[in-house]
Amino acid sequence: MTDVTASPPVRRLTDWDLPRLESLAAEYETPLYVMDRDRVKENYVRFSSAFPDADVMYAAKAHTGTAVLEAVLEVDGTIECAAWGELQRSIDAGADPNELQYTAVNPPDRDLDYAAELGAENPGLTITIGAVDTLERLADRGYDGRIAIRINPGIGTGHHEKVATGADAKFGIPYERVPEVADRVREEFDLVGIHAHAGSGVLTDDLEDHCEAIERVGEMARRVGDDDLEFVDVGGGYGVPYREDEPPLDLEKTSDMVRDAVGELEAQLKLEPGRYIVADAGLILTEVNTIKEAPDTTVVGVDASLSTLIRPAMFGSYHPMLNVSAPDREPIEATVGGPVCTSADVFAHDRPIAELERGDVLAIGNAGSYGYELANQFHSQPRPAEIALEDGEARVVRRRETLEDVTRLEK
């Protein structure tokens, strides 16, 4: 296992090798995603060490890149998937299908066809259902295997209302209906677990609300008979500090509070961290191309855009930034935006950053989670390349798209 004794609980932009980052930008061009596989492993081991008796599954939707999935598997991690494509990518990366968990959310027929067939060939696969309809559709496909029930605890937590899934009717069986659904599952399938996910981006100050939802999960598990369950899955959502002055998640406190909240269980505890594992393992390098003095700010134009990283436009998310080329220059207040023709294509307003000049390389931090996953081709912009770092070596794990890639599916 990876030794994390010397690994900081959060990696700031200033902890990266800045001259190396500038050389990567020169060699591989920008915008460029950089993922540190060593950091992915450190984060997984640190988190799982805080829950030594639990099954810690990496939530693949945070970053499904093969290099990341392989890194998790290399430190004996398991993987939770939310779509059929994630199941297939995990298997391609070397995961045993019998150890995968598929959390179906309003799954299309294609997804259920794939999952049912995979489960028939690999009876250890677990399918988590959040609607009775999904049970009926699985039965129609001849599936009678392992089922976990996703609970809607009625309590949502996290950094934004769009990720507070625990209070969203889209996710999970309504709380008071769970016992009757559990009875039905036991008649037709193999009920192995109870599952819930309250939200995303949870830091230490959010733990009280987060654990209130977990407490309800533990109560329901005991109500339906946890001595007859294999596991109780309290989901993920554990965050990293995006702002420079925010402290990292206190894992010791988190572990104590989660265990106290879920209570005494015969079943094994499961958790599904995603963001915590990959967020600070990744960043974006982008080149400055335009400096414009405006009446109230200095506008800095870069070649990354909301098609590269959509989180600021989608969630109003804060991402740290650093002038990699000249971090010691006097700071100015800059508004940093990309080439997309919308006012939403802005990474920061009036952010103090060491003065930038055309040709400088700017790093955008904490981009490893839901960064490349949400990258798109808006404005017909090809998606960027992705570089993986490990033991000081760099390799291309995703080549830069070309315009031909953008248009190749058109007729």
Question: Does the annotation place 193 within a ligand binding site?
Answer: no
Is 65 marked as a binding-site residue?
no
Six token digits for residue 214: 């977990």
311 annotated among ligand-binding-site residues? yes
Q: How far apart are alpha carbons 86 and 63 in whole angstroms?
A: 10
Alpha carbons within 13 A on the beta-carbon side of 42: 18
Report helix angle 132-140 to 178-188, nearest 10: 10
Query: Is 211 among the residues known to form the active site?
Result: no
Task: Give the span between the Cα atoms of 318 and 172, in whole angstroms.
Answer: 29
Q: Which has the closest alpha carbon to 103: 166, 230, 199, 197? A: 197
The reply to whether 272 sits in an annotated binding site is yes
Residue 134's nearest CA partner among 173, 179, 79 is 173
Identify the H or E element spanning 232: strand 231-233
Residues pairing with 322 in the sheet: 363
| 237 appears as a binding residue in the annotation | yes
**Strand segments (E) across 264-377:** 268-271, 282-293, 298-302, 321-323, 331-337, 346-354, 361-364
Catalytic residue among 169, 294, 341, 409: 341
332, two tokens: 């100015």
Q: For the beta carbon of residue 293, count every other beta carbon within 10 angstroms.
A: 7
339 is in an annotated binding site: no
Please state whether 183 falls in left (phi above 0), alpha (psi between -120 and 50) or beta: alpha
Residues 6 or more apart whose Cβ sits within 8 Å of residue 56: 44, 47, 48, 77, 78, 270, 271, 272, 273
Q: Which residues are annotated as a binding site for substrate?
A: 275, 311, 370
Q: Which residues are annotated as a binding site for pyridoxal 5'-phosphate?
A: 237, 272-275, 370
- Residues marked active site are found at 341
Q: Which residues are annotated as a binding site?
A: 237, 272-275, 311, 370
